[in-house]
Amino acid sequence: MKGILIESPQCDGELLFAEGTVVEGQIKSVHKVGMGFRHETAALEIEFERILPENAAPIAMRARVLEVDNAREKVKCGVIHGIRGTNTPQDRLSRRLEYLAMLYPDDSLWILPAYRALVPVFPEPEIYFPRGTDLILELTTPLEVTGGITVAPPNQEFDGLDAYSLDEMMMSVPERTSTPKGRDADVVNLAFIGSQEQVQKAFDAAGWKTGDAMRRRTALHEIHAFLVVGNYAHGPMSKQLLNGKAADSTWEKGLDSLAKRHHLRIWSAPDTFQGQSIWLSAATREIGASLSLRKREFVHHVDPNIDSEREMVVRDLRLAGCVDRVHVDRRSRMPHAVVNATGDDLYTDAAIAFVKLKDCEDPVFQNNSDAPEIASRPPTKFARYLRTQVLSARDIWRENVVYGAYDASRMVIGAIRRRRSSGYSAGKQNDSKPVTTSLASGIASTYATH
């Protein structure tokens, strides 16, 4: 299998490889769920072995997966572990009721198995990562790089006069968006220069999706994704205002988790630059979601390091071949630590990136492969229903008070650990610098039935 580098490893602060450099690897092991008789969860291990720089000899490497971006799956020691098909919100609720049924087994023990047979609302337990999935890799051995590899700068800057004009324009750009109730929300950290059509085509080319408007139908879509532990690719966003105005468009990028996604809102600005329109944006990455009964909606929590999200958006558009120039400018009077409307801390260098767009050309991750996509689940509804019943039957051993106490303790410990680590980025550097790759051009999709 192949991928492309979307963030190069560094040596003494210098990038080693150009964005879009091809990397090669292999699937070391696969455990699929199948019909559920042998495995309850899927597992997948991938190891990357070579970097193929342009106009240079291949370089050996050993890297394993550290994290799958915006995925519900967990990674441990380089092995991607899928979710259990019966580990859903409604299943956890029904299990508590089964504890009561154990007190009267003759009269009520049949109720919950019958419910699961009649209402088989369960997630897809197999692992399926389509082309374009972002993987964060960790080098497991030192990377030996010889001299002679020249890396072009990732961003082409504006010339001095244009950069000065943008610096002047930055002074009038609002720092924060707000909620309809007037509370400070996100940080304005991006400005796109170009036509509305160029903005739309750039995000389309980069694989982003538009967000649906907030309606009853979209709310039902969100609830369904929550119940099946899945994704809503066009999920709605809460309303935010910029200078009292609602967003002109919303864009998002997720994988298979409702709780995790990259997302941003875009507003038209009154100013222009060299006769071209300017579009202001606030980009954040959501890392968690919970259903608020009081607010009757999902409350999302964001990664506090919003600067990495700004850089990720620029990188995605640049790899899509849609960026002409970029200018990053810091606001001297803006605080570096703020709080958003839901109480999440946000940390920033107070910079805004001005991105001049162009008509998209030669995307690095364009798919040129004729290989068919691999099916992500059993082919028939009856097979999926039968698998659900098998997994439900295997789940009976968990229906007891002892396991319930263990499960509750595990949830509390997990919540404490997440709270302690919330201030740290998932890509925290250590002795082995993480490398980010994106499965892209000509790659076979990774799936647990390989």
Residues 335 and 190 placed together within one structural domain of the fold: yes
Residues 195 and 128 placed together within one structural domain of the fold: no
Predicted confidence (pLDDT) per residue in 288-317, tens digit: 877 666 666 667 889 999 999 999 999 999
- Residue 165 is assigned to a structural domain of this protein: no
pTM of the model: 0.81
CA distance 411 to 183: 32
- Residue 370 is assigned to a structural domain of this protein: no
CA distance 43 to 37: 15
Residues 194 and 343 placed together within one structural domain of the fold: yes
Three-state DSSP state, 365: coil
356 — pLDDT class (breaks 50, 70, 90) = very high
CA distance 377 to 129: 12
Q: How far from the centroid of its chain's Cα atoms is residue 297's Cα?
A: 21
- Residue 240 is assigned to a structural domain of this protein: yes
- Residue 329 is assigned to a structural domain of this protein: yes
213 Cβ neighbours under 8 A, 6+ residues apart: 236
- Residue 336 is assigned to a structural domain of this protein: yes
Residues 139 and 219 placed together within one structural domain of the fold: no
- Residue 159 is assigned to a structural domain of this protein: no
CA distance 52 to 298: 44
- Residue 187 is assigned to a structural domain of this protein: yes
- Residue 108 is assigned to a structural domain of this protein: yes
56 — pLDDT class (breaks 50, 70, 90) = confident
Predicted confidence (pLDDT) per residue in 236-258, tens digit: 999 999 999 999 999 999 999 98
> How is residue 152 written in tokens?
């072009």
Task: Report CA-CA distances (Å) from 194 to 241, 246, 297.
Answer: 22, 20, 35
Q: What is the mean pLDDT of the chain?
A: 82
How does 161-185 read in b/e, with b if 16+ C-beta sit within 10 Å?
ebbeebeebbeebebbbbbeeeeeb
**Residue scoring higher pLDDT (394 or 249):** 249
Q: Which residues pair with 418 in a beta bridge?
A: none
User: How many domains is the chain partitioned into structurally?
Assistant: 2
Q: Which domain holds residue 91?
A: 2-150+377-447
Residues 342 and 428 placed together within one structural domain of the fold: no
Residues 197 and 297 placed together within one structural domain of the fold: yes
End residue of a domain, out of 323, 357, 391: 357
Residues 192 and 303 placed together within one structural domain of the fold: yes
CA distance 190 to 175: 11
Q: Which residues pair with 288 in a beta bridge?
A: 301
Calculate the dihedral angle through the C-alpha atoms of 25, 12, 16, 351, rounding to the nearest 10 degrees: 100
- Helix (H) or strand (E) holding 112, with range, is helix 111-118
Residues 64 and 205 placed together within one structural domain of the fold: no
Residues 114 and 196 placed together within one structural domain of the fold: no
Residues 124 and 187 placed together within one structural domain of the fold: no
Of the spans 83-97, 188-202, 426-440, which averages the highest pLDDT? 188-202
279 Cβ neighbours under 8 A, 6+ residues apart: 191, 192, 193, 194, 196, 199, 248, 266, 267, 268, 269
